[in-house]
Structure 1
Amino acid sequence: MEKLVAVLAVISVMISGILIHTETSKAAEMNFSVSAVIPDNQIDKSKTYFELRMKPNQVQELEVVLTNGLARAVTVETSANTAVTNDNGIVDYSNKAPKLDNTLQAPFSKIAEMPSEITVPAKGSKTVKVKVTMPSAPFEGFILGGIHFSEKDDGDKKESGEGVQIKNKYAYVIGVILSENDVAVEPDMKLNTIKPDQVNYRNVLKANLQNIKPVIIQNLAVEAHVYKEGSDKALYSAKQDTLRMAPNSNFDFGIGWNNQEFKPGKYRLKMVASSGDSVWKWDEPFEIKGDTAADLNDKAVELEKDYTMWYVAGGVLLALLVFGLVFWLGRRSRKREED
């Protein structure tokens, strides 16, 4: 029971940050506000997001009130989004059509229905209804998602002395976490693909980490080291903590290549991930192919070229020239003595 209380407490802390106001500039101002209408099956009625105890096949309409304080109508785009984990190791509710994990059985975007947009009258309010239909099969764990609201872009642009500036766009997200029982699900993770890639045109090794259980992984710490096959000297390393993963999701953990070229060959990746009492360890081989390395190196910016082979080749050529010169001088000297 104590373990269950601890799990629920962690989830409560995590979800409390879901109701967010995202702004894209320092001068951001929302033209509308949102407020969840908390229903009777809310687990904790002090929360401002939806944390609901549901049943199999249950159909329920969630309500969110949009308020417009302007003297003009405001059109708001809405969507029910599935929570995923982005490559920064952050739970993300903003993506309307993300690539879903293959272990996710009931995405929130698939079980929730709502209008794609709504117009809120001037100095007025409007209630948006979100129809949620639970899966027919009972499940343990959590379904996590977010109800996303953003003002519709009218296509206008602001002129400035320096040219055209795109108008700022802001969004609200109200979190939704659904469960059917108090069974505590133990987290579990997998290491999937290991591949050379790029982030912002810089060489990075990406290791795909997967949360295969319907539970939120909180305070995730990851440490990774890359070795040349057969060597115990780490070439590249990365370490991050306080990461979070949505239920049944995956993300690419990046190991920076320090602006170095990818070199073809065989390597090993050693990783350790931990969350609370759970620890996962991996020691996996991988290979960087010559054509892949050449292609990525050609696209990379601020790449520090490795000229070692050129230096070696130049040294060998110089040695051959010196040897040839010595040999020629020796023969010339002997020839003079014979004459």
Structure 2
Amino acid sequence: MKPLVGLVGFFVAFLLVFSVFQMKVEAATNMPFSVSAVLPDNQVDKSKTYFDLQMRPGENQIIEVELVNASDRELTVETHANTAITNDNGIVDYSYTGKKMDPTLKVPFSKVAKVTTDTTIPKKGTRRVKIALSMPEQPFSGVILGGLHFKEKEPPRSKTKEEKGVQIENKYAFVIGVVLRESEEKVKPTFKLGKIQPSQINFRNVLKAEVSNPVPVIISDMEIQAHVTKRAKKKVLFETNREHMRMAPNSHFDYGISWENQAFQSGKYTLHMTLKAKGKTWKWTKDFEIDRKEAKKYNDRAVELEKDYTMYYIIGGAVLVLVLLILVYWLGRRSHKKAN
């Protein structure tokens, strides 16, 4: 079962990574609109379909994206300039609109890029969206990574009783990646292992270990091998290995180690992790502890939890042995009385 799950996970990750810089999410084959980057002269590689721009400190520039409405109706497209983060699947995510970023990120893309939120396109028409870029005055090495996120704006409407049931609606969105750099200077990659704590994914127990990329470099084809042991023991209790992951610059994510539908047991443990990326290897051995309160909290919520009946077997066996001893003693006394 595990090889099958791993194979499925590989193909899912491959498909998501393949669409990192121009992602199309569709629920039907007929897309109402399309987007394309109008590449400027300072595009580093003109064979790419996303923006990869060489700029100077303090420079301002307008870039454009062409929107084409292929439908027979007027539509409005929402545009957002989002900072790239790394989600817990180990994939660069351009759809995040929140404010909480990694503390090492000094210049988020959402602060560099400004765009008009709504653009109305006539039926069978075309519009160009302008994005204003303002580079920070202070020079920097590495890259700033973000995405221009386009989706059709839904008109406000109240649902009828019939519409309030289960429905499948078509949702369309595009993302065009934007990479901003000031030089070709290479930044050395480095990683940090942060907080380790029990948690859940879809109501299933997992151990989460925070992996951080604290430098402004894009990480591709990253591999992590992780296993858990009891503290000062060698026997592997739980293990999760993953390949072909990516990380955005100055970002972090929670790497999940499956607890294989087992209940959390309070105690002292050790996480052993090996990370490979950019031709280098990082290794960590870090102790952590699960207390009874945390274990009970997650065990009470968990679904499909395999119960551990070992203690019941021990108690039952002890009771059975005790009963047999009492029975043997009683029969012995009875035989002795008859003999007398």
TM-score, normalising length from structure 1? 0.89
Give the drift of 1:30: 1.8
Quick one: distance in 1 between partners of 2:248 and 2:82?
12
Question: 1:29 corresponds to which letter in structure 2?
Answer: N
Aligned twin of 1:181 = 183
Deviates more, 1:220-229 or 1:62-71: 62-71
Aligned twin of 2:50 = 49
Unaligned runs of 5+ in 1: 1-13
Q: Alignment partner of 1:214: what SS?
A: coil
Aligned twin of 2:25 = 22
Aligned twin of 1:80 = 81
Q: Is the 8 A contact 1:191 1:209 kept in 2?
A: yes
Aligned twin of 1:3 = none
Q: Is the 8 A contact 2:20 2:92 kept in 1?
A: no
With over 3 angstroms needed to count, the CA separation of the structure-2 counterparts of 1:317 and 1:278, relative to structure 1, is same
Quick one: distance in 2 between partners of 1:192 and 1:51?
31
Aligned twin of 1:35 = 36
With over 3 angstroms needed to count, the CA separation of the structure-2 counterparts of 1:315 and 1:42, relative to structure 1, is same
Deviates more, 1:95-104 or 1:291-300: 95-104
Give the drift of 1:162: 12
Quick one: distance in 1 between partners of 2:107 and 2:236?
41
Aligned twin of 1:8 = none
Q: Is the 8 A contact 2:82 2:146 kept in 1?
A: yes
Q: Alignment partner of 2:66: what SS?
A: strand
Matches within 5 A, 1:303-314: 303-314=305-316
Give the drift of 1:320: 2.5
Q: Is the 8 A contact 1:143 1:178 kept in 2?
A: yes
4+ long deviations beyond 6 Å: 156-162
Q: Alignment partner of 2:319: what SS?
A: helix
Give the drift of 1:328: 4.2
Q: Alignment partner of 2:76: what SS?
A: strand
Aligned twin of 1:100 = 101
Aligned twin of 2:266 = 264
For residue 248 of structure 1, the aligned residue among 244, 247, 250 is 250
With over 3 angstroms needed to count, the CA separation of the structure-2 counterparts of 1:75 and 1:182, relative to structure 1, is same
Question: 1:325 corresponds to which letter in structure 2?
Answer: L
Quick one: distance in 2 between partners of 1:159 and 1:120?
32
Aligned twin of 1:320 = 322
Aligned twin of 1:196 = 198
Give the drift of 1:69: 2.5
Unaligned runs of 5+ in 2: 1-16
Q: Alignment partner of 2:167: what SS?
A: strand
Give the drift of 1:161: 11
Identity value in percent: 52
What does the per-residue CA deviation read over 1:175-222, in whole Å, with 9 as the maximum and x for residues that have no partner?
Answer: 100001111001000011111111111111111111111001111011
Matches within 5 A, 1:215-226: 215-226=217-228
Quick one: distance in 2 between partners of 1:89 and 1:240?
9
Quick one: distance in 1 between partners of 2:296 and 2:19?
46
Question: 1:68 corresponds to which letter in structure 2?
Answer: N
Quick one: distance in 1 between partners of 2:70 and 2:215?
43
Deviates more, 1:92-101 or 1:106-115: 92-101
Matches within 5 A, 1:283-322: 283-322=285-324
What does the per-residue CA deviation read over 1:236-288, in whole Å, with 9 as the maximum and x for residues that have no partner?
Answer: 11111111111011111111111111111111110100013221000111111
Give the drift of 1:94: 1.5
Q: Alignment partner of 2:298: what SS?
A: helix
Question: 2:131 corresponds to which letter in structure 1?
Answer: V
Q: Alignment partner of 1:165: what SS?
A: coil
Quick one: distance in 1 between partners of 2:139 and 2:44?
18
Q: Is the 8 A contact 1:15 1:175 kept in 2?
A: no
Give the drift of 1:16: 8.0
Aligned twin of 2:171 = 169
RMSD: 2.3
